[in-house]
A and B are shown apart, each in its own frame.
Chain A
Amino acid sequence: MNRNIKVKAAVIVIVILVCVYGIIGLPKNKAELMANWRKNIHLGLDLSGGTQLVMQVQLQDAFKANADAVIDRLKSELQKDSIPVTSIERNDPNSLETADKIEIVIKGIPLAKTSVFRSTVSEQDPDWILTPINTTDYKMTMKPSAALALKQDTMSQTMATIERKINALGLTESSVQPTGRSDAEAELLVQLPGVDDSAHIKQLLQTQAVLEWVEVKDGPYANRDEAMAKHGGILPLGTKLVPTVMRGGQQSWYLVSRAAVVRGTDIRDARASQDQTGRWETNFVLNQDAAKKFETYTANNVGNKAAIVVDGQAIEVATIESRISDTGRITGAPGQEEAADLALNLRAGSLPAGVVYEEERTVGPSLGADSIREGFRAGIAGLLAVVIFMLVYYRRSGINATLALVLNAIILVAALSYFEAVLTLPGIAGVILTIGMAVDSNVLIFERIREELRAGKAVVAAVDAGFRKAFATIVDTHVTTVVSCLFLFIFGTGPVKGFAVTLVIGLIANVFTAVFVSKTIFDWELSGKRQVTALSI
Chain B
Amino acid sequence: MELFRNTNYDFLGKKWPFIILSLILTAAGLISLALKGGPRYGIDFKGGALVTVTFAQRPPVDKVRAVLDAKGLNADVQEVQGKQDDIIGINVREDTALQAARQTIVDSLDAAFGQPANGKTNINAVGASALADALRVPLQAAGAGLSDPQLNDLANNIMEYRKQHSGLIRNLDDLRSVPGVTPKILDVLKQVTYPDQLAVVSVEVVGARIGAELQRKAILAVLYALGGMLVYIAFRFEWIYGAAAVIAVFHDTIITIGLFSLFNKEISLTVVAALLTLVGYSMNDTIVTFDRIRENLKILRREKLEPLINLSVNQTLSRTVLTSGLTLLTALALFLFGGQVLNGFSFALVCGIIVGTYSSVYVAAPILVFFNNFMESRKHPSAGASGGPKVPVAPKAPVAPKTAPVASSKGSKQNVRGGTAKVK
Contact = CB atoms under 8 A, between A and B. Distances in A.
A374 to B, nearest CB: 3
A198 interface: yes
Given A362-B204, A371-B339, A488-B225, A496 B424 contact: no
Contacts of A356: 95-96
A457 B207 CA distance: 64
Nearest to B209: A358
Contacts of B349: 432
Contact of A375 (B166, B201, B272, B339): B339
Nearest to A356: B95
A234 to B, nearest CB: 33
A382 B201 contact: no
Interface in A327-383: 356-367, 369-371, 373-375, 377-379, 381-383
Nearest to A447: B319
Interface in B91-133: 95-96, 99, 102-103, 125-127, 129-130
Given A443-B323, A483-B228, A487-B225, A360 B342 contact: no
Contacts of A495: 269-270, 272-273
A363 B202 contact: yes
A480 B232 contact: yes
A364 B53 CA distance: 10
A395 B349 CA distance: 29
Given A195-B127, A451-B407, A444 B288 contact: yes
A127 B21 CA distance: 68
Contacts of B125: 197
Contacts of A499: 273, 276-277
Most buried by A among B159, B213, B407: B407
A390 B323 CA distance: 11
B155 to A, nearest CB: 13
A503 interface: yes
Interface in A422-476: 425-426, 429-430, 432-433, 435-437, 439-440, 443-444, 447, 450-452, 454-457, 465, 469, 472-473, 476
B202 A377 contact: no
Contacts of A392: 1
A197 B126 contact: yes
A504 to B, nearest CB: 11
Contacts of B217: 181, 491-493, 496
Nearest to B325: A389
Contacts of B165: 366
A491 B221 contact: yes
Most buried by B among A195, A382, A493: A382
A382 B330 contact: yes
A198 B272 CA distance: 27
Contacts of A435: 327, 330
B273 A360 contact: no
A492 B214 CA distance: 9
A527 interface: no
Secondary structure at the A interface, as helix, strand, loop or mixed, is helix
B347 to A, nearest CB: 13
B218 A382 contact: no
A484 interface: yes
B127 A455 contact: no
A465 B1 contact: no
A249 interface: no
A480 to B, nearest CB: 5
B294 to A, nearest CB: 9
B147 interface: no
B202 A386 contact: no
Interface stretch (B257-265, B279-287, B361-369, B385-393): B279-287
Contacts of A382: 329-334
Contact of B341 (A367, A437, A488): A367
B207 A358 contact: yes
A170 interface: yes
B173 interface: no
Most buried by A among B2, B167, B228, B319: B319
9 contacts: A360-B102, A361-B204, A371-B339, A374-B342, A429-B277, A436-B284, A454-B407, A483-B231, A493-B217
Interface of B: 1-3, 52, 95-96, 99, 102-103, 125-127, 129-130, 159, 162-168, 199-207, 209-210, 213-214, 217-218, 220-222, 224-229, 231-233, 236, 269-270, 272-274, 276-277, 279-281, 283-284, 287-288, 290-292, 295, 315-316, 318-319, 322-323, 326-327, 329-334, 336-342, 345, 349, 404, 406-408, 423-424
Closest 3 interchain pairs by CB?
Answer: A382-B330, A374-B339, A366-B167
Given A358-B209, A360-B102, 7 more contacts: A359-B205, A369-B163, A375-B338, A385-B329, A455-B407, A491-B224, A496-B221
